[in-house]
Amino acid sequence: MSTPGTTTTSLNQRRVSYFYDAEIGNYHYGQGHPMKPHRIRMTHNLVVNYGLYRRMEVFRPRLVSHTAMTRFHSDDYINFLKVISPDNMQDYIRQLQRFNVGEDCPVFDGLFEFCQLYTSGSIGGAARLNENRVDVVINFAGGLHHAKRAEASGFCYVNDCVLAILELLKKHERVLYIDIDIHHGDGVEEAFYTTNRVMTVSFHKFGEYFPGTGDVHDIGHADGKNYAINFPLNDGMDDDSFRGVFRPIIAKVMEVFQPGAVVLQCGADSLSGDRLGCFNLSIKGHGDCVEFVKSFHIPMLVLGGGGYTLRNIPRCWTYETSILAGEDIKDELPFNDYFEYFGPDYRLHLPVSNMENLNSPEYLQRTKIQLLEILREVEPVPGTQIQTGQIESQTNPRGIIFEMDHSTQEENENEDETMDNQQIREERKEHPSELEG
Ligand SMILES: [Zn+2]
């Protein structure tokens, strides 16, 4: 493992793959719903107009089958997602309730294909990392961290983060999951709560806020004890405060856990001015987390997640793409298909607000020390004796039952299609109501 800050130019030049399917922006959660897949298309368009595609290989993911999703999710839940549509909803009242589909997680046209698209980039990206053909994979369509084994939650249906981690576990003994979305990464934490092969680390708003979990005392169970790390935060987190807790905790995690691969969920709802969020991070402050994780030179899967103020998200994820691709980009935005969204300043970086930071230095310091104490309990290089099967299912009925399958993935032989420049620069398309918000 390299130490951050000692990078050389050659090490800084990482091989980056970027997964994107132009169809993703055509799905629509419904009028007034804050989650807008269109933001992925806006991000892509800005990435392209900054010329960043020249620094990466751009792939259209090969679609994974529903069987690939049942490595985590229950068969009946995935079958339900396959058949449900706005036309037949009235025939599935009980299942809609049972699987928590209908309100926050609405039924919309093409729902299953949408899940397939974002999940395929994450699983395909993990497979590509496993083949050691690339150092970093980006899939901003993914990062839907709230979905449970048999339940939709918080705008998420299929948990691509969990499925990507399972793919990485085929090759790597230990996988680290880091979550900087403003919401707790509950679905991922729950899936791996009783194993020491996956450490989950989440920084999130806590207290009368969705999903309500992620207390500092929730640290994992059985073999997974001390392998779930939660930093609960209050409104108004700013760049300096975030950096002051993120860097020391992640540095300690890297030291004690020594992961073979990292999944970084980059939810953009932790940015200042988010429609649903209440933090005050700038795009640079958010990107600093990406920069820091990158500096450890561990195979890295970078995912999207939340993000509900449409003009912020493309800025944030394009900036983070530039960090990963190792190219400085100018603050003045290039002309792009969605230029009107970025007024009045048309700049990449945005000022933060003057909201009060309700996280006192004392609180941050105390919680940081608490978490560093937990990390001190982590045994060096765990994972040689892993309890699987029965024990997992008894102690964590909603989590993963490991199959310990190290065979080559039959579903995705990584035939993700490379896109040429023509395909990368696709035409502008959007649903009329996407222009709101
Ligand atoms: Zn979120």
Nearest to 206 by CA among 279, 255, 275, 133: 279
pLDDT for 231 equals 99
Quick one: what percent of the chain has pLDDT higher than 70?
86
What is the architecture, at CATH level 2, of domain 16-430?
A: 3-Layer(aba) Sandwich (3.40)
Q: What is the mean pLDDT of the chain?
A: 90
Q: Please work out, in degrees rounded to the nearest 5, the angle formed at the alpha carbon of residue 74 by the alpha carbons of 61 and 200.
A: 70
321 falls in which pLDDT band (50, 70, 90)?
very high
| Ligand 1 centroid to residue 267 C-alpha, Å | 6
| Residues 54-83, mean pLDDT to the nearest whole number | 97
Active site residues: 146
pLDDT of residue 4 exceeding 90, the answer is no
Write down the domain spans for the chain: 16-430
pLDDT for 405 equals 41
**pLDDT single digits (tens) 266-281:** 999 999 999 999 999 9
**pLDDT single digits (tens) 76-101:** 999 999 999 999 999 999 999 999 99
Q: Which residues pair with 263 in a beta bridge?
A: 177, 301
Instruction: Read off the pTM.
Output: 0.91
| Ligand 1 centroid to residue 391 C-alpha, Å | 31
CA distances from 210 to 195, 353, 430 (A): 25, 23, 29
pLDDT for 396 equals 52
| Ligand 1 centroid to residue 1 C-alpha, Å | 31
| Ligand 1 centroid to residue 276 C-alpha, Å | 8
| Ligand 1 centroid to residue 11 C-alpha, Å | 32
| Ligand 1 centroid to residue 419 C-alpha, Å | 30
| Ligand 1 centroid to residue 155 C-alpha, Å | 9
**CA 216 – CA 204 distance, rounded (Å):** 11
| Ligand 1 centroid to residue 273 C-alpha, Å | 13
CA distances from 215 to 117, 135, 400, 426 (A): 32, 33, 21, 44
**CA 125 – CA 120 distance, rounded (Å):** 8
